[in-house]
Structure 1
Amino acid sequence: MAKIAATLVERLLAISQALAGHIDPGEAFGATAAEIGTIIPHDHMDVAILLHDGQQHVCYEAGFHTSWSTLAQTPLPIDVSPVRSVLRGEAPYLLTADALEDPRFHFDGAIDEPIYSAGLRSRIIVPLKARGDIVGALNISRHTPDCYTARDVEVAQHCADFIAPYIYALIQSEQARRAMLAENEARNRKELLRVGAARLTEGMERERRRIAMDLHDQTLADLSRIVRQVSALHHQGVARAAQLADLEREIVNCLTELRHIVDDMRPGVLELFGLRDAIEAHLNRSVSRATPPIAVHMRDQSDGTADMLPERIRTALYRIAQEAINNAVRHAAPGRIDVSLLTAGSTLNVTVTDDGFGYRATEADEGGGIGHMHTRAALIGANLRVEPGKERGTRVSVEIALEGGAAPISLEANVLEQA
């Protein structure tokens, strides 16, 4: 007996050495599992650790991994744990000859699938305690039935008592680190969106002033000229066919300019015919007066999935594509512009590529068109990339999840409605 006790102490010291230097809870547990295996042979071992006032738990596995490993990233309530009786302190331990048949591990809602798929038959479950409280459970399993005895339970409990404070402290530290990173990321993202939304609002105000100037300098001037022509015809008392034809052309041009202004303010084609047709209409209109001519190509492999997205998201995607096309036509002198809509799995990708002068990285920091595109993408939880083309030119790509995408910050609704 003394020899067995000395061997156990020796192995516990080896476990202590295995723990030393590890700051990742998964790696630390993996190191201890190898040492525990020298005194309790096993095919699988895991620890369930309580979080959030004991209402949820995470799991770390050693050796081969099962679906329980997802609990390390996504905690679940202990009510669904097959070892909940030990986690709650209702049972001092669990020892079973065949967990596949033991009803204590199987109940409505239990996450017991790995017991069957991994063939975890002989099992020992003992509590992990820190400062006198149960903080989790150590779970040791073998594929062969009826392998463990009460003596193995006792040794397992010694091992659990030895590793519990260290593993628990590492996991608490890891959870605190993740919470801090998530909080910082949310705070930074909100601040970036606040600044971006402010710039976007300023840009929209500049656009409103530009539209007002266009109406004043172009449309109102055209209408004034038409009024003068009508007045002259009225005083002449008769109008020749050529004069009426000139007047008709003036009115048609005026209506065309007004229609372009209205379309820019609110994309009617988008509402009536969908994202693909709206982008193609803007693409064709943008290059219609280009000198030298610009070739265009529109490819749609989205199967209409874009039009299943909420209106605010479709509008934002249209505005991003519109800005990318406008930038290419106005500043890059391209010979060709390609636009593609592509659905890949659960994501939609809208890409605008040109073969013009190319993209300068400094433009992204100027708060102009590229900055607005980044803001619009961030407000709908999309990923935007502006990068050089394969040979020359610029490639603008925006990708968004069709379902379960990132949740936009609450300020996005007002900003996108104005946009």
Structure 2
Amino acid sequence: MASVSPILVDRLLAISRALAGHIDPGEAFRATAVEIGRLIPHDHMDVAVLMHEGASHACYEAGYPTSWSGLAQEPLPTHRSPVRAVLWGEIPHLLTGDAVADPRFHFEGALDGPIFSAELRSRIVVPLRARGEIVGALNISRHEKDCYTLGDVGIAQHCADFIAPYIFALIQAAGAQRAMLAEAEARSREELLRVGASRLTEGMERERRRMAMDLHDQTLADLARVARQVSALRSQGVARAAQLADLEREVVSCLTELRHIVDDMRPSVLELFGFRDAVEAHLNRSVSRAKPPIAVGIADASDGSADDLPETTRTALYRIAQEAINNAVRHAGASRIEVHIASTPAELTVAITDDGKGCRPAGTNSSGGVGHMRTRAALIGARLDIGRIGPGGGTRVEIAIARQADGENVAKPVPASMEAGR
């Protein structure tokens, strides 16, 4: 650097001090822009940095802001860059007195809008090099025409050579961090699905055992009793009207129990009549034998939005509501249970409330039915919030799921909540 003037050396040292301590490439570049401005006055300065083995480029700006700043988060193809000739090493630099009229910056598909909107007329473009290769370009601009000379190009190149390794290293580190976070998120989603599938499999196995016990302990016992009654009538050779009426009631009871079991296995009302009617049918069936009686209510202010969801999502939502109703009936000691369905352009919510004894505070282990509810909610990207209504008791279970035009659902953060491990 024997040909470098003492003033330039002082400025380069100031640039070095400005770089120190920054770990964000954009902040580091903006810090250096102030010191570079003491050498080359400018209204706008940016670095275009090659990404993905040169296929795309990102951009970091200082000074007058433009739409190029969006390239920091969403890199675009390098062939669309107005300074692609420098990025590709086709020319050593670009120097123009009026970039607005210079055809080298304008071609079909070029991202040249900011040159016009920000009136970036005088421009210097020099390459950034690291490890002997071009990794980007430093672009310095002013609104006025004909502000820069070849001498300014040389100074700009010195600055570019000085900042390139540091900026490039920060960008590489930021990219590695993003890749690491993306991999961690992917692993987390994969683990969630694995654990969720395992829990659902276990839950389904328990449900199969429960249904087998229901069939054995109640339906099969009722059918055996009916068979004994038929056998007794046959041996008597005659059946009185009262005996036939009893037999008919037994058969109807068996059919009713079988329908309940089949509905639990395959929610036919959901498929035939929709979400609201299916929830109402389950609500009424669940409280039909409650002692003392439980009053119920259901309101759908969503205009049937639940039925617009994909079938698997709607079924999971129904299962969650079903479990919440079952918990309220079996464990809450409630005198009233209400279901409210509502929607906004952003999300659909289903809330199940009761006036029972309430739930245990957050931190209680989510197992059994509540655990299944949380697993189902996580697998469809829904938010599940379970908590007390007030200090006197009562519980509210709310399921919220994002609505999108393409029918996909987006996971939402799960807030701190109360769990209904009743």
Normalised by the length of structure 1, the TM-score is 0.84
**Does the C-alpha gap of structure 1 residues 13 and 209 become closer, same or farther in structure 2, counting only changes over 3 Å?**
same
Q: Is the Cα contact below 8 Å between 2:64 and 2:118 reproduced in 1?
A: no
Inter-partner Cα distance in structure 2 for 1:293 and 1:66:
67
Question: What is the aligned counterpart of 1:399 among 393, 401, 404?
Answer: 401
Inter-partner Cα distance in structure 2 for 1:344 and 1:120:
45
**Does the C-alpha gap of structure 1 residues 79 and 273 become closer, same or farther in structure 2, counting only changes over 3 Å?**
farther
Inter-partner Cα distance in structure 2 for 1:294 and 1:121:
77
> What percentage of aligned pairs have identical amino acids?
69
Inter-partner Cα distance in structure 1 for 2:142 and 2:402:
45
**Does the C-alpha gap of structure 1 residues 390 and 286 become closer, same or farther in structure 2, counting only changes over 3 Å?**
same
Report the alpha carbon displacement of residue 129 of structure 1 after superposing the two structures with TM: 0.9
Report the alpha carbon displacement of residue 108 of structure 1 after superposing the two structures with TM: 4.0
Q: How many residues align?
A: 404
Residue of structure 2 equivalent to 1:300: 300
Q: Is the Cα contact below 8 Å between 2:233 and 2:239 reproduced in 1?
A: yes
Inter-partner Cα distance in structure 2 for 1:340 and 1:64:
51
Inter-partner Cα distance in structure 1 for 2:173 and 2:293:
62
Residue of structure 2 equivalent to 1:414: none
Please list, as runs of the form range in 1=range in 2, the aligned pairs for 1:3-402 lying within 5 A after superposition: 5-63=5-63, 65-356=65-356, 357-366=358-367, 368-380=368-380, 382-391=381-390, 392=393, 393-402=395-404
Q: Is the Cα contact below 8 Å between 1:127 and 1:136 reproduced in 2?
A: yes
Q: Is the Cα contact below 8 Å between 1:93 and 1:126 reproduced in 2?
A: yes
Matched residue of 2:177: which SS? helix
Inter-partner Cα distance in structure 2 for 1:345 and 1:118:
37
**Does the C-alpha gap of structure 1 residues 63 and 282 become closer, same or farther in structure 2, counting only changes over 3 Å?**
farther
**Does the C-alpha gap of structure 1 residues 102 and 397 become closer, same or farther in structure 2, counting only changes over 3 Å?**
farther
Report the alpha carbon displacement of residue 345 of structure 1 after superposing the two structures with TM: 3.7
Paired residue type of 1:86: V
Matched residue of 1:31: which SS? helix
Report the alpha carbon displacement of residue 170 of structure 1 after superposing the two structures with TM: 0.7
**Does the C-alpha gap of structure 1 residues 10 and 373 become closer, same or farther in structure 2, counting only changes over 3 Å?**
same
Matched residue of 1:395: which SS? strand
Q: Is the Cα contact below 8 Å between 2:122 and 2:147 reproduced in 1?
A: yes
Matched residue of 1:37: which SS? helix
Report the alpha carbon displacement of residue 23 of structure 1 after superposing the two structures with TM: 1.1
Q: Is the Cα contact below 8 Å between 1:193 and 1:375 reproduced in 2?
A: no
Q: Is the Cα contact below 8 Å between 1:196 and 1:371 reproduced in 2?
A: no
Inter-partner Cα distance in structure 1 for 2:295 and 2:123:
70
**Does the C-alpha gap of structure 1 residues 349 and 158 become closer, same or farther in structure 2, counting only changes over 3 Å?**
farther
Report the alpha carbon displacement of residue 220 of structure 1 after superposing the two structures with TM: 1.5
Residue of structure 1 equivalent to 2:417: none
**Does the C-alpha gap of structure 1 residues 360 and 290 become closer, same or farther in structure 2, counting only changes over 3 Å?**
farther
Runs (5+) with no aligned partner, structure 2: 412-422
**Does the C-alpha gap of structure 1 residues 390 and 174 become closer, same or farther in structure 2, counting only changes over 3 Å?**
farther
Inter-partner Cα distance in structure 2 for 1:218 and 1:132:
81
Inter-partner Cα distance in structure 1 for 2:362 and 2:288:
29
Matched residue of 1:48: which SS? strand
Q: Is the Cα contact below 8 Å between 1:364 and 1:370 reproduced in 2?
A: no
Inter-partner Cα distance in structure 2 for 1:149 and 1:284:
85
Residue of structure 1 equivalent to 2:415: none
Inter-partner Cα distance in structure 1 for 2:63 and 2:289:
67
Inter-partner Cα distance in structure 2 for 1:18 and 1:276:
63
Runs (5+) with no aligned partner, structure 1: 408-419
**Does the C-alpha gap of structure 1 residues 348 and 77 become closer, same or farther in structure 2, counting only changes over 3 Å?**
farther
Paired residue type of 2:34: A
Residue of structure 1 equivalent to 2:419: none
Inter-partner Cα distance in structure 2 for 1:125 and 1:12:
19
Inter-partner Cα distance in structure 2 for 1:184 and 1:226:
60
Q: Which moved more, 1:223-232 or 1:292-301?
A: 292-301
Give per-residue Cα distances to partners, 1:174-233, cap 9 Å, x unaligned: 111221222223223323432332222111101100001111111112222223333444
Inter-partner Cα distance in structure 2 for 1:322 and 1:202:
18
Q: Is the Cα contact below 8 Å between 1:299 and 1:341 reproduced in 2?
A: yes
Paired residue type of 1:29: F
Q: Is the Cα contact below 8 Å between 1:349 and 1:397 reproduced in 2?
A: yes
Q: Is the Cα contact below 8 Å between 1:354 and 1:389 reproduced in 2?
A: no
CA RMSD of aligned residues (A): 3.0
Q: Which moved more, 1:167-176 or 1:393-402?
A: 393-402
Report the alpha carbon displacement of residue 136 of structure 1 after superposing the two structures with TM: 1.3
